[in-house]
Amino acid sequence: MAFKGDMPTEAMLLEDELRLRVQRRIDDGRLPVTLVSRIDSYGTERVCCVCDQPIACENVDYDIVDSLETTCLTLSFHSCCYVIWQRECAERVANTKRAKLCDDRRLSHMTH
């Protein structure tokens, strides 16, 4: 019999709720929009940047160093939270590229 305390933290929150948290945290600047590689380690008891739960020693901790900013920002994630964040970043990067391509085409048609 499994008890709530035995359940991995990332499974406690629904994926939709985690995705909404990621979107809000990107929008308010707490999470960057960047596609990064990761450094895996076992939990450090640091708090996950998405679900605000500690990363227990039996969970994988994804440490990200965002060096695109002027200061290095170390972010820690549960594996599920990391995947949801990167999926959202990829979608936003793709949307930005599509919008730029549309703008470039529109400007090209206007000048010709």
The pLDDT tens digits of the residues spanning 47-85 come to 999 999 988 887 777 777 655 555 566 788 888 898 999
pLDDT band per the 50, 70, 90 thresholds, residue 7: very low
Split into its structural domains, the chain has a count of: 1
Q: What angle do CA 27, 90, 79 make, to 5 degrees?
A: 85
pLDDT over 90 at 87, yes or no:
yes
Residue 93 domain boundaries: 4-111
Give me the pLDDT at residue 34, please: 81
CA neighbor of 84 nearest in space, from 29, 32, 19: 19
d(CA 35, CA 14): 23
- The pLDDT of residue 51 is 92
Cβ-contact 88, 50 below 8 angstroms: no
Complete edge-to-edge strand list for the sheet that includes strand 60-66: 39-42, 60-66, 73-77
Kindly indicate the confidence band of residue 99, based on its pLDDT and cuts at 50, 70 and 90: confident
Specify the pLDDT at position 45: 81
The average pLDDT across 80-108 equals 83
